[in-house]
Structure 1
Amino acid sequence: MISELKKSEFYRCSDLLYEQGQLEIKAVVEGVNPGRIFVDDIESPASGFIWLGNNDGFLFIGDERNEVFNTELNHFIDTVIIPEARKVGLTWFEGIGNHNKWDETIKKVFENRNLGSWNQRVYTLQKNDYKGNFELAIEEGYNIVEISEILFKNSDKSIENIEFLHSKILECWSSPERFFNEGVGYGVVCKNKIVSVCFSGFVVDNVHCIDIETLEEHQGKKLAQKVAITFVENCLENNLVPYWDCMESNKPSIAVAENIGFRNLFNYIGYDFKFE
């Protein structure tokens, strides 16, 4: 029977994690970032899946050959997950294996779901690989600022769209305080609006997973690259390791990462199906 773990029980999944797997999974299990965990056995889990707190997917962990768990998945998703997912506006289930042995299992379990797939690439940057000496000057009217507590609180109401920053941080973090204790971040401001952000979305030890977004009307100005370089330089100065996870089809994002010096660490496949 699939059951949900309490946060205080997440540690029971530590031995199920693949060492070379996604950073986000470790961040949730270690309690750094929010998420929910569902397992086959609360006392001694062998298989399970993690619902990331930012609603960016369901990641399968542990034994992919666990038939008891696998045969219950469809019913559990239909009766428990989908109703709750709809409440937060999700219309698709996105499933990812913590290791590639899950790929065949996911395809088999969801073979009647009109399953689609996509490819992801994961990069990290070490200090020796960083291609420095970038020109950080950006178009007139744009300024790079640190995402500080003062900026976040916006007490002087100087930022007109502060809810953009609030929503981005709180997608990944249980509270602003947790982010400021654990994370790093920068934004680009134009005419009293935050138009681009780059910050630690998930953190495990000294590894910081980059979350980056530029508002559509300000794209094409290399703002993402400029703010990412600022973020990366801060990380390297403080012995932190930047981690970049992006879709293989996102050529601009890959170009930014590779131009800075990120190296491809591993790749994985994501699977999705639409809620009926």
Structure 2
Amino acid sequence: MIYKLDKKDYPKIRTLLRTPEQKNDLTLNAIINRTNRGTIYVDNLEQPRTALIDATGTISIFIGDAENEEFIKHLREFIDNQLKIDTYLSCGGTYFLAVVPDETWEMVVKNVISHREYETDYEYYYQFNPELFNTRKSSYRPLPQGYTIKKINAEVIHNDPNELLSDVLGEFWYSIDDFLRQGVGYCVLKGERIISACLSCCVNEKNHEISVETYDEEEMNKGLATLVCTAYLEHCIKNGITPYWSTLETNVESNRLGKKLGFEFESKCKTLEFEF
């Protein structure tokens, strides 16, 4: 069987983090520490050997023994039924997107989802180079007239007429208060309307994963995402925060923006994706 682990027991899977990459993984630690939203599924509630960590609304990560039949033999039915339901109920999600950390897990997951039409991609991971960022930011386009950049606080969230920030933060954080206490965010406003935002979507101590989005298609290609990220990154530099950037290889715009902001490619992992 595959069981949903109680949040208070999330630290039980730390023994399954065996490689330096896993032990230092921002997403895994943020979920295990219960800083950010996520669900952990295991083969055994007391002494897990294998686990699927589902970061709400984004990715699923496999760790532990990839040859554990007590987990693997139930995985297809679990993904097609329980995970599908949980994904939709937690965030309205309709996709399964798994990061496979090595060739063994890749073979296992491909076999489990072989009855599906799935797509392969790569998750790209970037490290921030503040010197490169400081060199490049002078070339960014200025903020257009009529727009302002503000730090996201309780007042900005409360005054958001379309509740965009509340919805976005709800995908990553257990509460708005949790974000305000542990995360960082900046947004571009046109009047009272929020156009674009850059915020911490995943936090482990002083390490912050970035989420950035422009919400109005008519406002794209004006350099707003670059400028709101600039405000965020300047805050990180001043406060000793290390920002991280990750995106799919096929997300050309996100890769381009990350490089423009001084992020440098570090590594990649294969992903497998299908719609439930």
Please report the TM-score for the alignment, with normalisation by the length of structure 2.
0.90
The size of the alignment, in residue pairs, is 269
Residue 82 to residue 260, structure 1, CA distance change in 2 (3 Å): closer
Instruction: After TM superposition, give the deviation of residue 99 of structure 1 in Å.
Output: 4.8
Name the amino acid aligned to 1:84: D
Residue correspondence of structure 1 range 158-173 to structure 2 within 5 A: 159-161=160-162, 163-173=163-173
- Return the alpha-carbon distance in structure 1 between the equivalents of residues 5 and 43 of structure 2: 10
> Is residue 60 of structure 2 the alignment partner of residue 58 of structure 1?
yes
Q: Bigger CA drift: 113-122 or 27-36? A: 113-122
Name the amino acid aligned to 1:219: M
Residue correspondence of structure 1 range 103-182 to structure 2 within 5 A: 103-132=106-135, 133-134=137-138, 135=140, 137-154=142-159, 159-161=160-162, 163-182=163-182
Instruction: After TM superposition, give the deviation of residue 268 of structure 1 in Å.
Output: 1.2
* Partner in structure 1 of residue 81 of structure 2: 79
- Return the alpha-carbon distance in structure 2 between the equivalents of residues 136 and 115 of structure 1: 39
Q: Bigger CA drift: 64-73 or 175-184? A: 64-73
> Is residue 65 of structure 2 the alignment partner of residue 67 of structure 1?
no
> Is residue 25 of structure 2 the alignment partner of residue 27 of structure 1?
no
Instruction: After TM superposition, give the deviation of residue 218 of structure 1 in Å.
Output: 0.9
Q: Percent identity?
A: 30
Residue 170 to residue 85, structure 1, CA distance change in 2 (3 Å): closer
**Structure 2 residues without counterparts, runs of 5 or longer:** none
**Structure 1 residues without counterparts, runs of 5 or longer:** none
Instruction: After TM superposition, give the deviation of residue 64 of structure 1 in Å.
Output: 1.8
* Partner in structure 2 of residue 254 of structure 1: 255
Deviation string 1:219-248 (CA, Å, 9 cap, x unpaired) is 110111111111111101111111001121
Name the amino acid aligned to 1:14: R
User: What is the RMSD computed on CA atoms of the aligned residues?
Assistant: 1.8
Deviation string 1:64-107 (CA, Å, 9 cap, x unpaired) is 22232111101222332223334453332222224554222211
- Return the alpha-carbon distance in structure 1 between the equivalents of residues 251 and 88 of structure 2: 27
- Return the alpha-carbon distance in structure 1 between the equivalents of residues 228 and 80 of structure 2: 41
User: What SS class does the counterpart of residue 144 from structure 2 fall into?
Assistant: coil
> Is residue 243 of structure 2 the alignment partner of residue 221 of structure 1?
no
